[in-house]
Amino acid sequence: MQAHQRMLDPTPNGLHSGESPLLQTLGLTKRYGDFLANDSIDIDIWPKEIHALLGENGAGKSTLVKAIYGLIQPSAGEIRWQGERIVLSGPSEARSRGIGMVFQHFSLFDNLTVAENVALGLDGKESFKDMSARLEQVSKTYGLPLDPRREVWQLSVGERQRIEIVRALMQDPKFLILDEPTAVLTPQEADQLFIVLERLKAEGRAILYISHKLEEVKRLCDTATILRGGKKVETCNPRLETAASLARMMVGGEIKEVKAPAGRQTTVPRLVVNDLSLAPSEAHGVRLEHISFELKGGEILGIAGVAGNGQDELFAALSGERLSRDPGTVVIEGIAAGHLSITQRRKLGAAFVPEERLGHGTAPRMRLSENALLTGHAASGMVRRGFIDTAATLKTVDRATETFDVRKAKRDPEAASLSGGNLQKFIVGREILRNPAVLVVSQPTWGVDAGAAAVIRQALLDLATAGAAVLVTSQDLDELAEIADRIAVMFHGRLSAPLATSEATREKLGLLMGGSSLEPKEAAHAVGA
Amino acid sequence: MQLVLEKRAERSNTIALVSPLIAIGLTIVTMIILFAILGKNPLLALHAYFVAPLTDGYSLQEIAVKATPLVMIAIGLSLCYLANAWNIGAEGQFLIGAVAGSWIAVKTQGTDAGAWVLPAMLVLAAAAGALYALIPAICKVKFGASEILTSLMLVYVADLFLDYLVRGPWRDPHGFNFPTTAEFDPVATVPLLIEGGRLHLGSIIALLVVAAAAILLGRTIKGFEIRVVGAAPRAARFGGFNANQLIILTFAVSGALAGLAGIIEVAGPVGHLQPGISPGYGFTAIIVAFLGRLNPLGILIAGLFLALTFIGGEQAQIAMKIPLDVTKVFQGILLFYVLACDSLILYRFKLVFPNRQVARGTG
């Protein structure tokens, strides 16, 4: 009843007068050195409420929920639980009071079964047998099917998330925190999750839902609190806002629209992959199976898919970090390159941007000029007779800084000192400035602020317009819809046939991401396989 | 109030320079306490250790002579350590180099072999040191064997092999049964820089090695490769650098430098092959490498400093009857403090005061 009324009320908090919120923070502040990660945040969470916590990376969302879950101690301010002031000694105290949390990064042991993983995460003293029975019952009740006897490495990401949710529900929490739960789900899996969340809400529980997917928040949440730069900007009813108005509050200004230049022409094939199969290099890795596609100059091909379906393995096979026995499996600029090293592939005109910025794309404790040399030594005139031309490496830093608006404290700082967005702009800039014929980029805007994301997407579009072939792997379907000409989906190491972006609806992509086939006769074949 | 370590946004270059000095300071404080416990006057002991050797010409030359092998070995080790390859067996490579070079000296003894003898000894010693270091490197790359263990164990193999040779086949027939070869011929001896002094050509070679390492690490792509493979292995692979090749290369180079230092020591200050030609140079060089922050110039300074402790230790033993083992204690404590102080480059100490309780009314 109450929830229904509140939906119609533009000021949701006004309705609760007379009763006390389930959880409340008052002036909650967390200081790291000179940096205020949370600056005096007030937030009220009521029973029977799905409360969104919105904000860009670095806005302070994680810090706030960590304080609420007892993982960190606030520097100032207080937390109230059912009207009473509490100081949490740690997550187990939070759990015993009825606060549960599902993290974005799962803490599961791959080689243990579902039931064993759940048992490890519970504080209670019940027997393993009772616990397993209760696990099956909870998972049935909430429509979260799980086989307690299966080992985790065999499960999909969506199933792993179910383990985490069931584990939290087995403690019967009054208040559940979910950190970006749909980031790893297909659209269909997300829909199923929303049904579960609605049901938890109907049971009288409260949910704090961290996300930056605005459409999702508008659909699911009753209240939204927006953080920016560690401060609370506003608490509002997301259903009365537009996605654009929510985005403005998150970013604190207008976001530049990415414009696809008109009249982009495709030319000759610049990157061709022919029937690429590759055994995994590590235990529980994904086997690439019969991957084929052709990418022409002037074209952007998007690869969608839930994380862990072979995208990393494909990147390694394309970049040459892993070699293929058959040279013809990867063809760059008409030259068979499957057996060539990453340096030789760069000399053919290929450039690569991996998903991990620190430690893979850059050496964190080295200067930007040295990180320019990291990928530039092969083909950019930075090395003469074995000697480094320091002026040339610094020039690359300056050009990337200028062209891509990289903000940094000094001319040549260490990579680790840059913010995620600025470092990503540097990495993408470093590769684009080499005028590559082929650019393979993985998760180009993952964990990057909206401003930097727009700059990077625009740069990819401009590069394709200039004639390069661009391959973008992303879990963000909106991003792919914005920049890709065609979208293919990766599932269990296989790549679907690409769809034109105009035909690639969320539903179709979601089916492919879940392993279904779009054509009925192929579906029959897939069952047999 | 609470003392916490807080991560710095960027490494502190000031601390990087100052940290070895802090470590030396803390070591000296600890040594003062140790001397006091031993019942020695700490001030006199410190004087004997650090001041007396600097006051006469003979000791100054002796410091340079002792620093020569330390610096040469430490430069090689620093290349390994920068590349994340842990060569602990430089002592063994030093001894094998000494044995291999001595082979030519022993075989040409008393013949009219010409000026080619010494250069041939140097080359053979370097090659033997490199080959000996390649054993743990190849075991690491091919079989994943821990290079720390294998390189360390090979030290004892080299030690006993040398022992066998000087007690058996290579023993000086006129040496009163002492386990030693005959004194090397003049053509098999490293020339002195000053007639009648102690300083020899090896010190010049050590300086050249320092200069070459500085250029390698600071200016060349190979040096960059070594640094990036150690600092960020995955990024290095993304950069197209092969970590296994670098393990082989840095082990070979450090083995060669240790072997070269070995023959220079034998054909220089010692003059013949015998057991105990090294007071643990190969191990002390590990301290030199870290005290010098794995930087060639730093290693040169650190090498001179540790040579000072060797000479000072001898002086303290003579003047104050302080056991020579105290020098080893000193070196161990120094390494401990150096590694501890290094954490201050990436972290800083901070005093944290407990939360002030925020009093607030309800509503």
Which candidate from A374, A383, A388 shows the least CB-CB separation from B239? A374
Domain assignment present for A510:
yes
Given A224, A251, A278, the domain boundary residue is A251
Is there a domain that residue A330 lies in?
yes
Inter-chain contact B221–A27, Cβ cutoff 8 Å?
no
Q: Residue B232 and residue A356: Cβ atoms within 8 Å?
A: no
Do A294 and A326 have their domain in common? Answer: yes
Phi/psi of residue A493, each to 5°? 80, 0
- B130, two tokens: 């490199």
Specify the number of domains making up chain A.
2
CA distance A388 to chain B (A): 5
Give the 3-state DSSP-derived string for B67-93, with helices as H, strands as E and coil as C. Answer: HHHHHHHHHHHHHHHHCCCCCCCHHHH
Q: Are residues A282 and A233 in the same domain?
A: no
Our CA-based measurement puts residue A326 at a distance from the nearest CA of chain B, in whole angstroms, of 20
Cα separations in angstroms, A392 against A305, A376, A389, A399, B223: 39, 10, 5, 10, 17
**A356 in the same domain as A274:** yes
Burial B66-82 (b: 16+ CB within 10 A, else e): bbbbbbbbbbbbbbbbb
> What's CA A223's distance to the chain center, in Å?
23
A335 assigned to some structural domain: yes
The rounded Cα B355 to chain-centroid distance in angstroms is: 48
Determine the distance in angstroms separating the CA of A505 from the nearest CA of chain B, rounded to an integer. 35
Distance (Å, rounded) from C-alpha B149 to C-alpha A491? 44
- With a cut of 60, say whether residue A300 has pLDDT above it: yes
Please tell me the predicted confidence (pLDDT) of residue A13.
47
Per-residue confidence (pLDDT) for residue B361, from 0 to 100: 37
Question: Which has the higher per-residue pLDDT, B260 or A521?
Answer: B260
Q: Extract the runs of DSSP E, i.e. beta strands, from A115-195.
A: 175-179
Tell whether the model's pLDDT for residue B363 goes beyond 50.
no
Chains A–B, number of C-beta pairs less than 8 Å apart: 88
Q: What is the mean pLDDT of residues A364-389?
A: 90
Which residue in B7, B238, B353 has the most chain A C-beta atoms within 10 A of its own C-beta, making it the best mutation to test that interface? B238
The fraction of chain A above a pLDDT of 90, given in percent, is 40
ipTM over 0.85: no
pLDDT (mean) for B80-102:
95
Of A360, A388, A417, the CB nearest to B221: A388
- Greatest alpha-carbon pair distance for chain B in Å reads 104
pLDDT in tens, A483-494: 999 999 999 899
With an 8 Å Cβ cutoff, is B249 touching chain A? Answer: no
B230-269: pLDDT as tens digits = 999 999 999 999 999 999 999 999 999 999 999 999 999 9
> Residue B321 pLDDT more than 90?
no
Q: Is residue A404 part of a domain?
A: no
Same domain, A243 and A177: yes
Residues of chain B positioned with their CB less than 8 A from the CB of A359:
232, 234-235
Is A219 inside a domain boundary?
yes
Categorize the per-residue pLDDT at A405 as very low, low, confident or very high, splitting at 50, 70 and 90: confident
Please report which confidence band the pLDDT of residue B358 belongs to, taking 50, 70 and 90 as the band edges: very low
Both A193 and A284 in a single domain? no
Q: Output the pLDDT for position A340.
A: 94
How close B240 gets to chain A, by Cα (Å)?
5
B228/A386 touch (CB, cutoff 8 Å), yes or no: no
Rounded Cα gap, residues B118 and A33, in angstroms: 61
Q: Are residues A307 and A198 in the same domain?
A: no
Domain assignment present for residue A487? The answer is yes
* Chain segment A71-119, per-residue pLDDT in tens: 888 989 999 998 889 998 888 889 889 999 988 778 888 888 999 988 8
- A34's CB contacts (< 8 A; 6+ apart) are none
Considering the domain architecture, whether residues A447 and A330 belong to the same structural domain is answered as: yes
Same-domain check for residues A199 and A330:
no
Task: Supply the CATH number for residue A321's domain.
Answer: 3.40.50.300
pLDDT for the residue numbered B97: 96
The residue whose two tokens read 């592939």 is: A345
Answer yes or no: do A190 and A273 share one domain: no
Instruction: Please indicate, yes or no, whether residues A293 and A347 belong to a single structural domain of this protein.
Output: yes
Please check whether residue A242 lies inside any domain of the structure.
yes
CB contact under 8 A, B238 and A383: no
Contact B9 A319 (CB under 8 A): no
Interface contact B234-A359, CB threshold 8 A: yes
Residue A457 has pLDDT above 60, yes or no: yes
- Whole-Å CA distances, B47 to B153, B299, B313, B314: 38, 24, 11, 13
Biggest CA pair distance of chain A:
79
Q: What percent of chain B has pLDDT over 90?
A: 57
Average per-residue pLDDT for chain A: 86
Alpha-carbon span B310 to B334, nearest angstrom: 13
Residue A472: give the domain boundaries. 269-363+436-528
Residue with tokens 């002086």: B315
pLDDT band at B318 (very low <50, low <70, confident <90, very high): confident
**B274-295 pLDDT per residue, tens:** 998 998 999 999 999 998 989 9
The verdict on residue A385 lying in a domain is no
- pLDDT computed for residue A10 by the predictor: 40
